[in-house]
Structure 1
C-alpha cells in the first residue's frame, strides 16, 4: 500500500499530498531524466494517450529526480499537460523501489529504472511494470489498464 498522505512537489512548485493528484486511478510512471531521447519519447506517448486514460478515470503523473525548473522546461518544450513530480530527494523512488545500480560507458551509478504503476484510490498497487522499454510498453499499456479497471 502506498502512502497517499505523502507530500510531493509537483512541477508548479506546490507541495501536495500524493492522493490529492487523483480521485480514482493513478498511472504513475518513473523515468530517468527530462530532455533525454527515451524519456522524451515516453512522455510524448503518454501525452498522446492522456485523454484515453482520463476517460477510464485514470490520471497520469510522471516522476523523476529532476528539478522543478527542468520539469517546467520539459513540459513547455514538448507540450506536456500532466503533472510531473520533482522527486529530488528520491522519497517516492525508494517507496516504489525503482532505484538500481546502472552502468554507462563503464561507469556505475544509482539511477531510476523505467517503471509504471497503476494505483487505486486507496493506494493499492493494482499492477506494476518494471524495467520497461518505451515503445513496447506503450503498445500494451492502455489495453492492460482497460482490462485491470474493468476487472474491479
Structure 2
C-alpha cells in the first residue's frame, strides 16, 4: 500500500460531478463564487457518520449565514443516501461516489488504521473550498463527534 496523495491549502480543489440522493448531478463548479465545505464520510446511517451529518445539519443555519454551503460525499449509492437524508432530515446535498474516484482525488480514500490494522478505506476528511475553487482548509482523519464544533471554532463562526 502506498501513501495517500493529500491536498493542502492553496491547492486547486479537484473538480467533480456526482449524483445526489435523487440522482441529479452536482458539480463542485456549481459552488463557484461561494465557499463550500466538502466532507467525506465512510458510510451513511452508521453511528459516527450519522452523528457527523446531524452536526452539520444542526449547524447549517450558522454555516450558511457565514457564507458556507455544505456537501457530504460517500461511496453509498443514491438510494441509500435518500434513505439517510429522509431518516435524519438532512438538508444539504449528499453525493454518491461508489467508484471512489473523487474520494481518491481528494486524498480521502486509501490506507488508514482501523482497530490497530492497516486497511484501505474512506478517510474521514473535511475541506473548505474558497470562492475560486482553491482549498482553504484541508483536514484528514477528523473525528465524527465534535468535528463541526471544532471546525466552527477554527473558522471563527
Relative to the length of structure 2, the TM-score reads 0.84
Q: 1:111, 1:105 → 2: CA distance?
A: 13
C-alpha deviations, 1:22-80, integer Å up to 9, x for none?
64100011000001000000001110000000001100110100000000000010000
Q: 1:12 to 1:105 in 2, by over 3 A?
A: same
Q: 2:55 aligns with which of 45, 54, 63?
A: 45
**How many residues are matched?**
146
Aligned to 2:152: 142
SS at structure 1 position matched to 2:120: strand
Q: Is the 8 A contact 1:9 1:86 kept in 2?
A: yes
Q: 1:106 to 1:141 in 2, by over 3 A?
A: closer
Q: 1:103, 1:11 → 2: CA distance?
A: 29
Relative to the length of structure 1, the TM-score reads 0.86
Deviation for aligned residue 1:138: 2.2
Is 1:97 aligned with 2:107? yes
Indicate the RMSD between aligned Cα atoms, in angstroms.
Answer: 2.0
Is 1:19 aligned with 2:29? yes
SS at structure 1 position matched to 2:98: coil
Q: 1:129 aligns with which of 132, 135, 139?
A: 139
Deviation for aligned residue 1:146: 3.3
Q: 1:2, 1:29 → 2: CA distance?
A: 13
Task: Identify which of structures 1 and 2 has the higher relative contact order when contacts are C-alpha pairs closer than 8 Å and 6+ apart.
Answer: 2
Flag as ranges the 4+ runs of structure 1 deviating above 6 A.
none
Deviation for aligned residue 1:101: 2.6
Is 1:30 aligned with 2:40? yes
Q: 2:87, 2:118 → 1: CA distance?
A: 30
Deviation for aligned residue 1:17: 2.3
Deviation for aligned residue 1:107: 7.1
